[in-house]
Amino acid sequence: MDTNQLVQCVPNFSEGRDLEKIEKIVEAFRITEGVKLLDYSNDEDHNRLVVTVVGQPVKVKEAVVEAVKRAIELIDMNQHEGQHPRMGAVDVIPFIPIRNFSVEEAVELSKEVAKELYERFELPSFLYENSASAPHRMNLAKLRKGQFEGMAEKVKTDEFKPDFGQSIHPTAGIVAVGARMPLVAFNVILDTSNLEIANQIARNVRHINGGLRFVKAIGIDMEDRGITQVSMNLTNYTKTPLYRVFELIRIEAKRYGIAVVGSEVIGLVPMDALIGTAEYYLGIENFSTEQVLEKRLME
């Protein structure tokens, strides 16, 4: 095993109110050596807990399985209500390759975890995103449609038969487990108050309407500043890099006589996404990320 491998995991649990239960679930990540708890946040309205951890794959797996065990013991979906759609006590477990770990390896890891959750706790699962067993099962929203209350019936259909298990868990429902690339939340700010134009530019650059492969985009108002932005999720920054998105939006905005005034990166972003940007604009030849001092420190 390459001890230098890193995988991120962002499991979502259906408990956002009871701090004692939340702490017990989070504790599973605190007590596991080789796993770093980067963040966790609970939302009372959503009644949901989102945990962000990173570490060696085998350790992350161990911690996740322990956290799921606790969640199954603590959460009864028959009693659960909240604004966020959900289908299980653990709603979704995405594995995200960070370093020396391929998407294929993350898919493998997600399948191992799903298998273990079923074998140990009889928790059924859908494999989703890159781990999905069919294209129509890739999208989380589609899998979750009908939510916990409708899931007992839904899993009886051929289309949505679980990848592990046959029927839902009586109190914990079903979980989606899968591998995906890191998301980068990237917004490009436009010098116009016209939301229709921002939306038109969003349509021009996003995948669904014929734009870049790994871009999801909408126009939104920045009301306090009287301007707008193209708000995006980049679903694979290695294949659709930030600079390409930024420059394409600049080109599209030009048609409307509008300037790009800047951008925003929301939340965490992998170092490589920004270093790739610097490499492009400076035209750096033969650069290796091994030349980045901090990268060396992490080895």
Q: Which parts of this chain interact with a copy of itself (CB under 8 A)?
A: 6, 8, 36, 38, 54, 98, 182, 189, 242-243, 246, 260-265, 267-271, 274-275, 277-279, 281-287, 291-298
- CB closer to a copy of itself, 218 vs 269: 269
List phi, psi (to 5°) of 117. -65, -35
Please tell me whether residue 255 adopts helix, strand or coil conformation: coil
Structure-block tokens of residue 216:
């999801």
- CA dist., res. 208 & res. 205, Å (int): 9
- CB closer to a copy of itself, 166 vs 288: 288
- CB closer to a copy of itself, 51 vs 71: 51
Active site annotation includes 136? no
- Least Å distance, CB 72 to a copy of itself, is 29
- CB closer to a copy of itself, 19 vs 266: 266
- Least Å distance, CB 162 to a copy of itself, is 32
- Which is nearest to 243 in space by CA: 291, 196, 188, 286? 188
- CA dist., res. 104 & res. 196, Å (int): 40
- Least Å distance, CB 282 to a copy of itself, is 5
- Least Å distance, CB 277 to a copy of itself, is 4
- Least Å distance, CB 37 to a copy of itself, is 10
List phi, psi (to 5°) of 251. -65, -40
- CB closer to a copy of itself, 47 vs 235: 235
Catalytic residue among 46, 84, 136, 169: 84
CA distances from 287 to 58, 105, 297 (A): 31, 26, 18
Alpha-carbon dihedral sign for residues 206, 207, 213, 216: positive
Alpha-carbon dihedral sign for residues 19, 21, 23, 26: negative
- CA dist., res. 40 & res. 34, Å (int): 17
- CA dist., res. 110 & res. 116, Å (int): 10
Evaluate whether 194 touches 219 at the Cβ level (below 8 Å): no
* Catalytic annotation, residues: 84
